[in-house]
Amino acid sequence: MPGLTLLGTVHRDPQGLVRLVQALKGLNADVITLEFSTYGLRYRLKKKGALSYSLLRGLHELYGTDGLRLGALKKLMRMTGIGGIRAFLDLPFEYKGASFHSRHNGIPLYCVDISSFSRRLLIKVDELLEPENLNKVITFETALLRETITREYNQAETLLLNGRQSIGKHLITANKVWEKRERIMASRIRNIAARYAGRSIVHIGGWQHLAVQPGTLFSLLEDLTPKRVLLRSI
């Protein structure tokens, strides 16, 4: 069906890739846009091997070679803290799923996030991977990543129930960087929608951008009457 669909995800979802590939099959998109920047893509393509090595090296410094056997490592990777860091260092499942669907079906894929925002996050990677910081993460982020993701999907479904927020307060604490980012992504999606008028466009991004409050991506594109869906709900 022609029009714009905003597909909300929970970032770092361990099941996200499978869910996204299945969802895209049913949405019949002619064009895909993605909350991911060209800088973030190039950075990870260039450095993901080195970043993974740095994470393992930091963990070995904490545990020693004998203390970090395969079973212990797998357990850490299933936790919200270390598992979340590993997912952050890797190409996001949203990009993997969208690029697979794009190549398989011969449809265009556009990364519409702003590179300056990615630089702000990625400039702190070395600090993130310091053994001292990893130790703090291991100590305080002890929940299973799978359970954390489930809770966030539950929250998203509650707060976006029936297409509206079910609570009387804003979901997003906006700042100048957030507002600039939303405006630029909205402008880029709007331009793509105009270029592909009458076609089906699916935008993939974090569910918070679908919130009904001033300045969010959904609100900035509301005149295009976008459909909002959550990945887990499809």
164-193 tens-digit pLDDT: 544 445 566 668 888 899 999 999 999 999
The 10 Å Cβ neighbour count of residue 172 is: 15
Tokens representing 176 are 């100048």
Of 74, 82, 101, nearest in space to 12 by CA: 82
Report the number of distinct structural domains present in the chain: 1
pLDDT value at 227 more than 50: yes
Residues 59-117: pLDDT tens digits?
989 887 666 777 888 999 999 999 999 999 999 999 999 999 999 999 999 999 999 99
Residues 189-214: pLDDT tens digits?
999 999 999 999 999 999 999 988 88
Q: Name the average pLDDT for the chain.
A: 91
pLDDT score at 170 = 59
The CB-side HSE value for 124 (13 A sphere, CA atoms) comes to 8
Tokens representing 202 are 């699916």
pLDDT value at 1 more than 70: no
* E-state strands within the chain: 3-9, 31-34, 109-111, 200-206, 227-230
In this prediction, residues 2-7 reach a mean pLDDT of 94
Domain that holds residue 202: 3-233
Of 2, 6, 3, nearest in space to 228 by CA: 6
Residues 14-54: pLDDT tens digits?
999 999 999 999 999 999 999 999 999 999 999 989 999 99
